[in-house]
Amino acid sequence: MYIHKSVLLTEAIENLNIKSDGIYVDATMGGAGHSSKILEKLTTGHLYCFDQDDYAINRGKEVLSKINDNFTIIKSNFTNLKEELNKLGVNHIDGILYDLGVSSFQLDIPERGFSYNYDAYLDMRMDQTKELDAKYIVNNYKEEDIANILFRYGEEKFARNIAKKIIEVRKNKEINTTFELVDIIKSAYPKKELNKKGHPAKQTFQALRIAVNDELRVFEDSLYQAFDLLNKDGYIVVITFHSLEDRLCKVIFKEKSTVDIPKGVPIANIEEAPFELITKHPITPSDEELEYNNRAHSAKMRVIRKR
């Protein structure tokens, strides 16, 4: 059994301001840690959980069924948020949670190919029915395209070195496994950089995972749908794990909670923005949480409310 430790669990539940009769969405069910706490607070309300991973869905059913029956698990990417909810007759919600990134069990199950700590097939698909995987990108994309992915999604400063090395290696043999890729990354790094803190493959693996799952685009698309669905006094809570996600969330939240005032227009005539930014600065894990959950280190949480 793979253990899932939910990040910022208490803070997320508090900031959703859950009503017992409300309609809530966990857009990223994963190990159902957040979902179970939401469900515990519902009496006549209902929780809709999105996930595209069969392992997560089976785990989620097992965990949530022990609490009550006020939940529905939807096997779909959260980019289909509005469409899938509308199919079930749901047109408005009271709150939604996004816990972005990769689930603990996805990292801990070697054969999923998400982790540079295990030797496995280069996969990284959250939805294993999809065709595109990390192996295909590494073995078929052009050098420039690989470098752009590593730089844009991983902010990898040695992106061009790594891309060039990948092309060199794959001329002679196909790159099939995570450890083969790790070795290539290490060989592309300057020796002095290898002695620094942190794994040299971290940013490359992050970048490939984001590219395989198109994570930034689907998050942005889903977030705008969530704004449309939200009832008055409803909340959106977003937990991010890297700067690209956090920056995107910050920009969109600012856009929705700010009114542009044209020059010469009296202040008294300006309406309030439709959304109120609850977190002026992101909420981060406590020292206590960081002690028992190493994966919480890069987490940031932002919250917005519909007025």
85, 23 in Cβ contact below 8 A?
no
**Per-residue confidence (pLDDT) for residue 128, from 0 to 100:** 87
> What pLDDT, in 10s, does the model give residues 251-278?
999 999 998 765 655 555 567 899 999 9
Strands (E), the chain: 23-26, 46-51, 71-75, 93-99, 230-240, 275-277, 300-306
**Per-residue confidence (pLDDT) for residue 295, from 0 to 100:** 82
**Per-residue confidence (pLDDT) for residue 269, from 0 to 100:** 56
- pLDDT higher than 60, residue 214: yes
121, 176 in Cβ contact below 8 A?
yes
Provide CATH 1.10.150.170 ranges for the chain.
Answer: 111-213
Out of 3-7, 194-198, 248-252, 284-288, least confident range = 3-7
What six digits make up the tokens of 150? 């590593």
**Per-residue confidence (pLDDT) for residue 36, from 0 to 100:** 97
What top-level class would CATH report for the domain 9-99+215-306? alpha beta
- pLDDT higher than 60, residue 191: yes
Q: Angle at CA 112, nearest 5°, toward 110 and 115?
A: 60
pTM: 0.90
**Per-residue confidence (pLDDT) for residue 292, from 0 to 100:** 87
> What pLDDT, in 10s, does the model give residues 169-184?
999 999 999 999 999 9
123, 106 in Cβ contact below 8 A?
no
Mean pLDDT of 243-249: 96
**Per-residue confidence (pLDDT) for residue 110, from 0 to 100:** 85
Q: Kindly report the average pLDDT of the chain as a whole number.
A: 93
Quick one: CA dihedral 21, 222, 270, 301, positive or negative? positive
Provide CATH 3.40.50.150 ranges for the chain.
Answer: 9-99+215-306
Q: Does domain 111-213 have CATH number 1.10.150.170?
A: yes
Out of 190-199, 212-221, 227-236, least confident range = 190-199
**Per-residue confidence (pLDDT) for residue 230, from 0 to 100:** 98
Confidence of residue 155 (pLDDT cuts 50, 70, 90): very high
What six digits make up the tokens of 6? 């939910």
- pLDDT higher than 60, residue 163: yes
- For residues 223 and 301, give the distance between their C-alpha atoms in angstroms, rounded to a whole number: 14
Mean pLDDT of 290-306: 92
Residue showing tokens 């959304």: 275
What six digits make up the tokens of 18? 């859950």
